[in-house]
Amino acid sequence: MERNSLNSLGVYRKSLALRDMSEAVAAYFTQNREILSLRKIDSFRDDISKSLMADADLITKEVEQAALSNCYSSRMRSLSYVNIMTRNILAYCNGLERDGVKEKEYLNLLRKEIRIFRVSFKKWRKSLINKND
């Protein structure tokens, strides 16, 4: 697959949507208004917000790498990494909830976005696993 055709890939578009939603949730819940610059972190909530943004960004990068790779082992490594990052994001949602976030509807929106992404990701992963090198 060529880099130009990534936008036509549904799972890639969904990873971008997940990244955007994660950034919005992180920016909303952070107490450090400079979190988007990834400077020093002052609180637990800020730490979770930074990790949320970083992992969502890594998901997009790993989807891109898996889509562009011709090497089976490299694709499998990227696919495994995406699974880990999606579980991490769900854990961050739980952490924010336990930290006392009152606006749980935002966390539920992010969880829903993760579920939507995972459905698309699983279908795409099956097609990559069956793809011949």
Q: What is the pTM of this model?
A: 0.85
Q: pLDDT tens digits, residue range 8-17? A: 899 999 999 9
Q: What is the pLDDT of residue 47?
A: 87
Nearest to 81 by CA among 94, 105, 64, 97: 64
Q: Give the model's confidence band at 57: pLDDT under 50 very low, under 70 low, under 90 confident, else very high.
A: very high
Q: pLDDT tens digits, residue range 61-74? A: 999 999 998 888 99
User: What residue numbers bound the domain in which 39 lies?
Assistant: 1-130
Mean of all residue pLDDT scores within the chain: 87
Domain count, the chain: 1
Which tokens belong to 78?
């990227």
pLDDT above 90 covers a percentage of the chain that reads 62
Q: What is the pLDDT of residue 132?
A: 56
Q: What is the pLDDT of residue 130?
A: 73
Residue 52 in 3-state DSSP?
helix
Q: What is the pLDDT of residue 64?
A: 94
Nearest to 84 by CA among 51, 106, 112, 108: 51
Query: Which CATH number do you get for residue 24?
Result: 1.20.1440
